[in-house]
Amino acid sequence: MESILDESFLRKLESIRAAALKGGQGVASGIHRSYKAGSSQEFMDYRRYHPGDDIRYVDWTVFGRTDRLFIKLFHAEKEQTLYILLDVSRSMGSGPGSKAEYAKKTAAALSYMGLASQDQVWVTSFSEDLDIARESEKGKHLYLSVQEYISSLGSEGMTDFNGALERFAASGNTPGTVVVISDLLDPGGYKDGFRALLHSRHKPTLIQILDPEEIRPRFKGHVSLEDVESGKIRHFLVNKIRLKRYEHRMKEFLLDIGQFCRQRGIDYHLADTGIAFEDFFLGYLQSEHLTGKSG
């Protein structure tokens, strides 16, 4: 089976993952190190004893030398669940930039990093409905089976974004990080779906994938535009005024998404397929997912 991601890129992901873990940062919402006293065998540091601390973690050797009570601190590793919901509706297969392939690479890269971090990783697809027959995976050795599933996906059917996310939220999955990969081009909107995820105590992330022609169209003159999902065709005379009006509406649409996400603590990233996938994804990893800074 042809690999979605080439070997050189996977090696880069491994290097980034190792550096992130060394620095105490999570990878793709992977293993987080919480700095608190715990039963892990990996010693981290000391701090002064405070009333109520578990005396099992007092270092009596240090007490004998200094006559002061210190608590041993350990890295407590916390496993998390990473859910990846991949939009496979017909609109994702449109455009010269192949949003579908870009989305598949994004899902494959995230799943690889999650599996390599020993997370529970659950990758599934949606269009008019949500494929909930998938089971979660754990361990890097299962990456090939996840990749096989992602590779098998086509782009077909209408989009029911809200319905798919609401069904996922109602499925009773353990709360975790939910990465939604979609162009968000659903006339029914997207807000109710994200509200359902938040209500179910999930931590949503949105990666919106758009073709450059969708963001800044360059065609002019008499054109026939077909809605790839409904099949409806409309005829237009495209001129500078209409192009500016479209670009203004698209800008408002993207700004509204960004504002909605910021107000609710949803990580939001816009991926332009005109940008090389490697450049986008490595930039994505350098945002708050690894550094803790807003990006």
Of the candidates 156, 160, 193, the one whose C-alpha atom is nearest the C-alpha of residue 178 is 193
Sign of the torsion formed by the C-alpha atoms of 110, 119, 294 and 23: negative
Residue 36 has pLDDT above 60, yes or no: no
Distances (CA, A) of 269 to 12, 40, 265: 21, 35, 13
Is-contact 175 202, C-beta < 8 A?
yes
Q: Predicted confidence band at 30 (pLDDT cuts at 50, 70, 90)?
A: very low
Average pLDDT for 35-56: 59
Asked if the model's pLDDT at residue 116 lies above 80, the reply is yes
Q: pTM for this structure?
A: 0.77
Alpha-carbon distance values, 176 to 107, 119, 136, 245, 266 (Å): 16, 10, 12, 40, 13
- Give tens-digit pLDDT for 2-27: 689 999 999 888 887 766 655 544 44
Task: Report pLDDT for 3.
Answer: 85
Q: What number is the average pLDDT over the span 59-64?
A: 78
Average pLDDT over residues 43-67: 72
Give the model's confidence band at 133: pLDDT under 50 very low, under 70 low, under 90 confident, else very high: low
- In this structure, what token pair is assigned to residue 258? 């960004």
Integer Cα distance of 99 and 92 in angstroms: 5
* Domains of the chain, CATH where assigned: 7-14+81-290 (3.40.50.410), 32-78 (no CATH)
Specify the 3-state DSSP secondary structure of 259.
helix
pLDDT at 229: 62
35-50 burial: b if 16+ Cβ within 10 Å, else e: eebbeeeeebeeeebe
Structure tokens at 265: 């603590």
Distance CA(163)–CA(188), nearest Å, equals: 9
Burial of residue 152 (CB within 10 Å: 0-12, 13-18, 19+) is exposed
- Of the chain, the percentage scoring pLDDT greater than 90 comes to 43
For residue range 150-200, list pLDDT tens digits in order: 999 988 888 899 999 999 999 988 899 999 999 999 989 999 999 999 999
How far apart (Å, rounded) are the C-alpha atoms in residues 273 and 3? 19
Give CA–CA dist 193/181, Å, rounded: 13
pLDDT at 64: 79
Kindly state the tokens that stand for 289: 């997912």
Cβ(207)–Cβ(295) below 8 Å: no
| Structure-token match 């096989």, residue found | 148
Q: Where are the alpha helices (DSSP H) in 34-160?
A: 60-66, 99-116, 143-151
Read off the tokens for 67: 């006559």
